Structure 1
Amino acid sequence: MTPSIAPPMERRLLGIGLVMLAFFLFTGIDTSAKWLGLSGISAIQIVFVRYGIHLALASAISFPRYGLGLIRTNNLGLQILRALALLGMSLSNFIAVQYLPLTVTGAIGFTMPLILCALSVPILGETVGPRRWTAIGVGFVGILIIVRPGGEAFHPAAFLSVAAAFFSAFYFLLTRRLAGVDSAATQQFYVAIFATIVLAPFALANWAWPDNMGAWIAFFAIGLFGFFGHQLATIAHRFAPASVLAPFSYFQILFLTASSWLIFNQPPDIWLFIGAPIVICSGMYIWLRERSLAKPVTPIAEPR
C-alpha cells in the first residue's frame, strides 16, 4: 500500500497553533544537540541518534500500515540528494550550536529564505527582480551585524551556521521538486534512513554514552522532538496554506532566546537586537513580494 496524501481542510487557527508547537519542538532539537555537545558527545553521534530515533518511530508507525509501499519512490536520485542536504544541514548546525548561542545560530538560520530565493534562479529557473535582490543583500548585512567578523566576539563556527542555511535552502528546493512525486511519509523515511546508514560506522566506532541525567534526557528527546516536530509541521499544512503559516516561522527566535538564556545562561547581546530584525524584515519582504506575484511560498518544515 502506497502512502496517500491527506486532503487539505480550512482550519487556519488550528494550523497556526500546530505550526507554532512544531517550532517549539524544533527549538528542542537545537537545545538537546547543544546540551549533548557540551556533555562531550560528538556531533556525528548526535546526528546519528537524532535520525536513528526518528527512523525507529517512522518505521514503527508507518510500516504496519503501508508495508513496502513506504519505500517506493518515483525519484530515488532526488530523495538521496534531499537527504544529503538535510544531513549536511544537521551536521553543520549541531557543531555550530556547541560554540555559539542558540540565538545567533537561529538568527543566521533565518537567512534560509534569502538563500532559497537566490538559488531558485539557477536551480528552478525562476526570475528574481531587483527588489528581492536588494532584500537579499540587506539580509546579509544583518548577518554581518550579528556575527561581526573580525571582532572580539566573532567565532568561526558562524560559517557553519551559514553553511547550514545553504544546506537548508537546497533541502527546500529539492522538497519543491519532489512535491507531488512522493508522499510525505516516504520522504521522511528516506531522510531518516539515509542519515542513519551513512553515519552508523562513524558514530558506532567512537560511541560515548551520556554521563549525566540531563544528557540522557537530551539523548532520547532529540529524536522525539525531530519526529513529532516534522509531523506537526506537515499536519499544519493540511489546515492552513503555507502563505498563512510562513510568517510564524520567525516566532522561533523567541523560543531560541528563552532556551539560550534560561538553560545555557547566554542572553542575547545588543547586536542581535539590531541584526536579527534586519534579517527577519528582509525575509518577510521576500515572502510578501512572492505572495504578491502569486509564486509558491516556502513550506514551513524547518529541517533539523
Structure 2
Amino acid sequence: MFVAKADNPALAAGLILLATAFIAETTLLAKALGTDALGPPLSPLQISHGRFLFAFAALLSVASVLRPQIRAPRWRLHLGRTVFGWSGVTLMFASVAFIPLADATAISFLNPVFAMMLAIPFLGERVGPVRWGAAAIALTGALVLLRPTPASFQPAALLALGAALAMGMELIFIKKLSGREPVFQILLINNAIGLCIATLAVLAVWHPPTPMQWLALAGLGGLMACAQFLFVNAMARADASFVAPFSYATLILAAFYDYAAFGVVPDRITALGAAIIIAGALILALREARLRRT
C-alpha cells in the first residue's frame, strides 16, 4: 500500500476511474443483498458487517506480506473517523435498497459540502461567499432529488442524505489524521475498528446468508479495499482538484449497473438533481484548489 510521489496525472485519472467502477459495484451488491435478488433480504447492519469483515481480511493478508510497523496511532481520531465512516456506509447501504442507485450516489456527493460546513466549528476554517454559494447549489440539487411533494417524496432518500452527512464528518477526522500516520496504517486500523463496531451492531439481526450472499459480501468487502487502495494512490499522483471530477463517473456507472441488473431507468429529476449537485461540488473543489495554491 505504498504510494509513489512522482506526479502522473494520466495514471491518477485511470486509477480513479477504476476505483469509481469498484465503488459503483459495491452499491450494486449492497442493493442485491438488501433486496430479494440473492435470497432473503439482509439487514443493512449485516451488509455493513460483511463489508468490514472482508475488507479487513484483504488488508490483513497484505499486512502479512508487508509487515508494516504500527507507530503511535491516534486512537481517538481513529475511533471518531471509524464511527462516522461505519454510520455513513450503513445508511448508504440502507438507502440503495429503496431508491435508485443514481439518486443515492448523487446525494453521497454532498459529503465534501458537509465537510466544508463542519470544518468551521471543528477545524476553525473560514468559509467565503464562493464556497457558501457552491454549497447552496449542491444542496439545491439534493432537494430536487428528495422530490419534496406529497406524491413523489422519497423518505429513503433521507437515509442517503444522512450517509453524506456522516461521511462529511468522517472527512474531518481524515483531515486531522492526514500526514500524521502512514496511509496503510490508517486503512488497517480503520477497518479493524469498523469490524469491531459492525460485529457488535449486527448481533441482534444476523442470520446465515445464502451461498450467493456470502459471495456478494466477500466481493463487496474486497472491492471496497481495492477502491481505497486505488483512491489513495491516485491522490498521491495528482492534485485533488484534478482527481475529483473523475470520481463523478461513479454516478454514470451506478446508473448503468442499476439498469442492467434491476431495469431501473434514471428519470429527468434524477438527471437534474445530480447535475446540480455535481456543479456545486465542482465549484467547491476548484475553489479549494485555488485556496491551497494561494
TM-score w.r.t. the length of structure 2 is: 0.92
| 1:209 match | 208
Distance 2:201 2:164 in 1: 24
Residue from 217, 227, 230 that aligns with 1:229: 227
Report 1:168-207 matches (<5 A). Answer: 168-207=167-206
- Give the secondary structure class of the aligned counterpart of 1:73: coil
Distance 2:143 2:243 in 1: 28
| 2:288 match | 290
Kindly state the Cα deviation for residue 206 of structure 1 after the two structures are TM-superposed.
3.8
Distance 2:293 2:107 in 1: 24
Q: Verify: 1:15 aligned to 2:9, yes or no.
A: no
Distance 2:260 2:3 in 1: 39
Kindly state the Cα deviation for residue 119 of structure 1 after the two structures are TM-superposed.
1.5
Q: Verify: 1:266 aligned to 2:264, yes or no.
A: yes
Kindly state the Cα deviation for residue 204 of structure 1 after the two structures are TM-superposed.
4.5
TM-score w.r.t. the length of structure 1 is: 0.89
Question: Against the structure 1 CA distance between its residues 269 and 212, is the aligned structure 2 distance closer, same or farther, given a 3 Å change threshold?
Answer: farther
Report 1:45-56 matches (<5 A). Answer: 45-56=46-57
| 1:44 match | 45
- Give the secondary structure class of the aligned counterpart of 2:292: coil
Residue from 8, 30, 35 that aligns with 1:33: 30
Kindly state the Cα deviation for residue 202 of structure 1 after the two structures are TM-superposed.
4.1
Kindly state the Cα deviation for residue 66 of structure 1 after the two structures are TM-superposed.
2.4
Kindly state the Cα deviation for residue 219 of structure 1 after the two structures are TM-superposed.
2.2
| 1:301 match | none
Instruction: Show CA shifts across 1:209-240 (max 9, x none).
Output: 33364x34322210111111111111112322
* Identical residues among aligned pairs (%): 27
- Give the secondary structure class of the aligned counterpart of 1:291: helix
Structure 2 residue identity aligned to 1:247: P
List alignment gaps of at least 5 residues for structure 2: none
Report 1:1-304 matches (<5 A). Answer: 6-39=3-36, 40-66=41-67, 69-70=69-70, 72-211=71-210, 213=212, 215-294=213-292
Flag as ranges the 4+ runs of structure 1 deviating above 4 A.
none
Kindly state the Cα deviation for residue 243 of structure 1 after the two structures are TM-superposed.
2.3
Distance 2:243 2:264 in 1: 29
Structure 1 residue identity aligned to 2:155: P
Distance 1:276 1:266 in 2: 16
Kindly state the Cα deviation for residue 43 of structure 1 after the two structures are TM-superposed.
1.1
- Give the RMSD, CA atoms, in angstroms: 1.9
Structure 1 residue identity aligned to 2:193: F
- Give the secondary structure class of the aligned counterpart of 1:143: helix
Structure 2 residue identity aligned to 1:148: R
Structure 2 residue identity aligned to 1:115: F
Kindly state the Cα deviation for residue 73 of structure 1 after the two structures are TM-superposed.
3.3
Kindly state the Cα deviation for residue 7 of structure 1 after the two structures are TM-superposed.
4.3
Question: Against the structure 1 CA distance between its residues 295 and 113, is the aligned structure 2 distance closer, same or farther, given a 3 Å change threshold?
Answer: farther
Distance 1:27 1:226 in 2: 10
Structure 2 residue identity aligned to 1:149: P
Kindly state the Cα deviation for residue 81 of structure 1 after the two structures are TM-superposed.
0.4
- Are the aligned partners of 2:52 and 2:194 in contact in 1 as well (CA < 8 Å)? yes
- Give the secondary structure class of the aligned counterpart of 2:284: helix
- Are the aligned partners of 1:8 and 1:237 in contact in 2 as well (CA < 8 Å)? no
Question: Against the structure 1 CA distance between its residues 37 and 73, is the aligned structure 2 distance closer, same or farther, given a 3 Å change threshold?
Answer: farther
- Are the aligned partners of 1:73 and 1:186 in contact in 2 as well (CA < 8 Å)? no
- Give the secondary structure class of the aligned counterpart of 2:252: helix
Task: Give the aligned length.
Answer: 290
Kindly state the Cα deviation for residue 82 of structure 1 after the two structures are TM-superposed.
0.5
Distance 1:73 1:32 in 2: 36
Kindly state the Cα deviation for residue 125 of structure 1 after the two structures are TM-superposed.
1.2
Structure 2 residue identity aligned to 1:269: D
List alignment gaps of at least 5 residues for structure 1: 297-304
Structure 2 residue identity aligned to 1:37: G
- Give the secondary structure class of the aligned counterpart of 1:293: helix
- Are the aligned partners of 2:4 and 2:233 in contact in 1 as well (CA < 8 Å)? no
